[in-house]
Amino acid sequence: MSEAKSHPTIAYKILNAPQWSAWQKTGTFSGASIDLTDGYIHLSTATQGAETYAKFFKGQQDLVVAEIDLDDLTDSLKWEPSRNNELFPHVYGEIKMESVDRVWDGDNVNEILFARLAQEQNL
What pLDDT shows up at residue 19?
96
Q: Identify the segments of the chain with pLDDT beneath 50.
A: 1-4
Task: State the pTM of this model.
Answer: 0.86
Alpha carbon separation from 113 to 8, 18, 22, 116 (Å, rounded): 17, 21, 23, 5
- CATH, residue 105: 3.20.170.20
Residue 77 in 3-state DSSP? strand
What pLDDT shows up at residue 123?
53
* pLDDT tens digits along 23-43: 999 999 999 999 999 999 999
Number of domains making up the chain = 1
Cα 67 from Cα 103, distance rounded (Å):
6
77 in Cβ contact with 70 (< 8 Å): yes
Structural domain of 75: 3-121
